[in-house]
């Protein structure tokens, strides 16, 4: 192996350049999109929502919080309070026989960020997402599973929007 490295200076040069480039990017604070960086004091939070409704939203939010190393704790100082959730399945287009050809799934929610001593850090924040899918009556099972997948994706997107807005507000604080 040593002979291989000795005989190919191009490989050493390329490797050195890549290492220097990645070191420079990391040193400048570049990170891939994904984990949300929060101060330690903001890494513990609680989501307040109507527990009977939108269990899929709560499930997606908890999953995203775990992926971002956040702790969901009922006694946390910071709370995200969901004040309004609206989910609709809208008929977008009809075919020649007046059968539904395309649907739009639309999710909207409003929320507040509450700090310690019940002070409102941010109010009337909103998140919105929608997904459109074609319904195939000849393959209803596949269309239904696609709808379920897009529904989960929609709630995951709303959860990401909430956490991004939360991160922006607690960094400003």
- Which residue in this structure is represented by tokens 């946390």? 76
Residue 122 CB coordination number (10 Å): 18
The pLDDT of residue 116 is 82
The pLDDT of residue 1 is 44
Residues 6+ away with beta carbon under 8 Å from 144: none
Residue 101 CB coordination number (10 Å): 16
pLDDT digits (tens, 9 = 90+) for 33-53: 557 777 788 888 999 988 666
Percent pLDDT > 90 in the chain is 28
R_g of the chain, CA atoms, integer Å: 23
Tell me which of 76 and 38 has the higher pLDDT: 76
**153 — pLDDT class (breaks 50, 70, 90):** very high
**4 — pLDDT class (breaks 50, 70, 90):** very low
Question: What value does the mean pLDDT take over residues 64-88?
Answer: 90
Q: Average model confidence (pLDDT) for the chain?
A: 81
pLDDT digits (tens, 9 = 90+) for 104-127: 889 999 999 998 888 888 989 999
d(CA 58, CA 65): 10
Contact 125, 110 (CB under 8 A): yes
Question: What are the domain boundaries of the chain?
Answer: 1-30, 41-172
Q: What is the pTM of this model?
A: 0.73
Tell me which of 80 and 143 has the higher pLDDT: 80
pLDDT digits (tens, 9 = 90+) for 17-30: 888 877 777 776 65
Residues 6+ away with beta carbon under 8 Å from 148: none
Q: Which CATH number fits domain 41-172: 3.20.20.70, 3.40.50.300, 3.40.50.11540, 3.30.160.150?
A: 3.30.160.150
Residue 54 CB coordination number (10 Å): 19
Torsion sign, CA atoms 66, 70, 74, 78? negative
The pLDDT of residue 26 is 72
d(CA 19, CA 65): 32
The pLDDT of residue 170 is 83
Tell me which of 94 and 87 has the higher pLDDT: 87
């Amino acid at each position: 192996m040593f002979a291989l490295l000795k005989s190919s200076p191009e490989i050493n040069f390329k490797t050195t350049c890549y290492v220097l480039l990645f070191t420079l990017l990391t040193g400048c604070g570049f990170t891939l999109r994904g984990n949300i960086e929060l101060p330690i004091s903001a890494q513990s939070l609680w989501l307040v929502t109507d527990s009977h409704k939108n269990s899929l939203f709560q499930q997606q939010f908890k999953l995203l919080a775990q992926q971002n190393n956040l702790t969901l704790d009922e006694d946390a100082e910071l709370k995200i309070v969901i004040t309004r959730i609206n989910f609709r399945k809208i008929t977008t287009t009809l075919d020649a026989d007046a059968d539904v050809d395309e649907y739009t799934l639309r999710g909207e929610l409003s929320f507040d960020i509450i700090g310690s001593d019940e002070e409102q850090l941010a109010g009337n924040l909103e998140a919105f997402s929608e997904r459109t899918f074609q319904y195939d009556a000849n393959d209803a099972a596949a269309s239904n599973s696609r709808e379920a997948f897009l529904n989960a994706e929609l709630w995951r997107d709303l959860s990401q929007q909430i956490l991004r807005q939360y991160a922006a507000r607690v960094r400003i604080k």
